Amino acid sequence: MPQATLSTRTLFQILGSEISPREVEDLLFRTKVELHEVKDPEMMVEVTHDRLDLLCESGLANLLSGLLHQRPLATLPPTLSPSGFSVRVDPSVAPLRPEIALAVVRAPEGSGIDAGLLSELIKFQEILHTSLGINRREGSIGLYPLRGLVSPLTYSLEKVEGLRFTPLAVEGVPSSGEQDVSEFLSSHPMALKYGSLGHTKDRTLVLKDSAGTLLSLPPILNAAKHGEIRVGEKEVLIESTGKNSRTVRDLVGYMMLPFVTRGWTVHSTTNVVQGNGPSEPRWATLRKVAIASSTAEHLLGRPIGAAKIHQDLMAAGFDAEVRGPEFSVRVPPWRPDVLGEVDLVEEVMVLEGIASFPPQESGHQTQGRMLPLSRYSEKLAEILLGMGYQEAHTPVLLPRDLSRRLCPEKSTLELSNPVSEELSVVRSTLLPSLMLALSLNTGQSYPQRLYEIADVVEVAPETPTGSSTRLHLCAVLAGEGAGFANAMALLERLMRVIGSSAVREPGNELGGIPGRVAELSLAGEKLAVVGEVHPEILVDLKLQQPVCWTEIDLTLLWTLKGNGPRDAVPS
């Protein structure tokens, strides 16, 4: 889970009081924060992936303030005033990073950025780049002093030729003065690391103001003068570019938090897509979630009263307005994890203390029993273990190239935002997973027998989610002489135990040797596949022994048969 090292001095300064490490640990015990160590002047925290706001001193101070039932530190008005700034988005950016979001923050009278806030901003920005931004691939953040900038800004993809740029000094790389952008892209460490995300062939993404001042080369690096935040700044422009609108909005929302916690005001901006007219200002009106006190009490399991629910929501940093029997709760931009009623009830439970809600035993008569299909598959697993097969536990995600060779394309779901190519496709059959397991065990003795009983996911347009999850059994045998006859013998053995028979016919399963693959059907639907893996796939996975496999759709079998193996314990 994401981690951060935070300054205790900055944390207590924001909080307005100093509390002991033991008290901090006790307060955070009931939250989504795990405190690893407190060693003045720092503390290390780890949070769940949905609470990235807690990876900065301001976010943690807001949480502690609520737990201490003090006033909320970070609040926003229902409607944000316009900043007077806008950005023109050129359609040329669409192939690389089509989305951009901005906001302007202004300091209270007589205040500005101090050393503590500046340090927090720099650390938090990099944490967000690594986590939500996926190393800037999905989204990146830029901070700019507003002084001297002329609205509107322009976000476009421009020719590298003729562009000059003074890169901002970064840790370990001092500013080298003004240079050609082509030279920067070919030599600067930041360009070598992130350049492919922001330029293509002879063009690169640029952000300029109306005076022609180049502010940054998204998502690589800001310019030295107009892209450097210093102590004393009173007005700051927050910018994010990326591949989808939600990510860039969330990134800007998170970056508001350190400013708002210190009393800065937030002002919205307007995006103008050239040729399409202006869009709505971002965050002009905060997102709202409605919740009834009766619903909250039902989910909590005991009555605590509407007044107490309202008090807890306000302490958690939400602006909750009473509207008859409901609360209309405004969700700040740095809390994208709050999507519905359940999330708000969780906030109330945390503030009340989970220990104050006694556990309740379910009144269902089937409490503690396994589902019939689980008992069904458990008995089949015992049979496979008795035949010398070892159980494997493999990820549900596959490399795209292997999936295309072993999974039917029409039934395969691909992730739109994969972490890597190695985990980019949801499996629709267990065979690829077990083949990967065999490829990782080539140093072990043969024959190797592996099996897995696990879920696969298939495309199902007729369902609300567009997918169908099914339970499959797959067994592979790798070793000298492993072939179609072995796979068929195993299937027949399992079918005898199940007490069923099926129609066998030639198959053309992906990854199998033509003529050595068979399908079994029951009631006109494909129940099982057996066969030998094609030598080309064995070579690609560096397997030097033949492999055969047997795979059964247990969900279909249970649906059609409605009972388990002959010697299974009755459910």
* 105: nearest Cα among 216, 269, 251: 269
Q: Which residues contact 193 (CB under 8 A, 6 or more apart)?
A: none
| Amino acid identity for residue 528 in this structure | A
What's the rounded Cα separation, in Å, for the pair 123 and 5? 9
Helix 554-561 and helix 372-386: axis angle, to 10°? 120
Please confirm whether the linkage preceding 152 is cis (ω < 30° from 0).
yes
What's the pLDDT at 32?
A: 85
Q: What share of the chain is helix, strand, coil (3-state, %, to 5)?
A: 30, 30, 40
End-to-end Cα separation, the chain, in angstroms = 39
What is the crossing angle of helices 306-315 and 341-352, to 10°?
90
Sign for the pseudo-dihedral over CA of 559, 563, 569, 571: positive
> What whole-number distance in Å separates Cα of residue 238 and Cα of residue 451?
52
* Torsion angle in degrees (nearest 10) through CA of 88, 92, 95, 96: -60
Burial environment of residue 118 by CB neighbours within 10 A (0 to 12, 13 to 18, 19 or more): middle
Structure tokens at 257: 């938090």
Domains of the chain: 3-67 (3.30.56.10), 81-278 (3.50.40.10), 287-355 (3.30.56.10), 372-561 (3.30.930.10)
Q: What is the pLDDT of residue 509?
A: 81
Q: At 330, phi and psi to the nearest 5? A: -85, 125
Largest CA distance in the chain: 84
Tokens of 234: 């009173």
CA neighbours closer than 13 Å in the CB half-sphere of residue 462: 0
Question: Of how many residues is the chain composed?
Answer: 571
Write the DSSP assignment of 146-158 as a string of letters.
Answer: -TT--SSEEEEEE
- Closest to 165 (Cα-Cα) out of 218, 201, 125: 218
> From first to last of its 571 residues, what are the pLDDT tens digits of the chain?
788 999 999 999 999 988 888 888 888 888 888 888 778 788 999 999 999 999 999 999 999 999 988 888 888 888 888 888 899 999 999 999 999 999 999 999 999 999 999 999 999 999 999 999 999 999 999 999 998 899 999 999 999 999 999 999 888 787 778 899 999 999 999 999 999 999 998 999 999 999 999 999 999 999 998 899 999 999 999 999 999 999 999 999 999 999 999 999 999 998 887 666 656 676 777 889 999 989 888 888 888 888 899 999 998 889 888 887 888 999 999 999 999 999 999 999 988 887 777 776 666 665 666 777 787 788 889 989 989 999 999 999 988 888 888 887 777 888 887 877 788 889 999 999 999 999 999 889 999 999 999 999 988 888 877 888 999 999 999 999 999 999 999 998 888 877 777 788 888 888 899 999 999 888 888 889 999 999 999 999 999 999 999 999 988 888 876 554 433 333 3
Please, what is the Cα angle at 414 between 413 and 416, to 5 degrees?
130
Q: What does the H/E/C string look like for 434-451?
A: HHHHHHCCCCCCCCEEEE
pLDDT at residue 149 in the model: 93
Enumerate the β-bridge partners of residue 37: 44
Residue 276: per-residue pLDDT: 63
Three-class SS state of 421 = helix
Q: Output phi, psi for 569, to 5 deg.
A: -70, 130
C-alpha span between 223 and 237 (Å, rounded): 14
**Residue 72 three-state SS:** coil
Burial 24-48 (b: 16+ CB within 10 A, else e): beebbebbbbebeebeeeebebebe
Hey, which bits of 378-466 come out as E strands?
390-391, 397-398, 413-414, 425-426, 448-459
Enumerate long-range contacts of 351-355, CB under 8 Å, 24 or more apart: 351/66, 351/67, 351/69, 351/312, 351/315, 351/316, 352/300, 352/304, 352/308, 352/312, 353/30, 354/30, 355/30
The answer to whether 545 touches 446, Cβ cutoff 8 Å, is yes
Instruction: Give pTM, 2 decimals.
Output: 0.68
Sequence-distant (6+) residues with CB within 8 A of 126 are none
Which pLDDT value is given to residue 277?
60
Q: How far apart are CA 31 and CA 52, in angstroms?
A: 13
3-class secondary-structure state, position 390: strand
Q: 3-class SS at 309?
A: helix
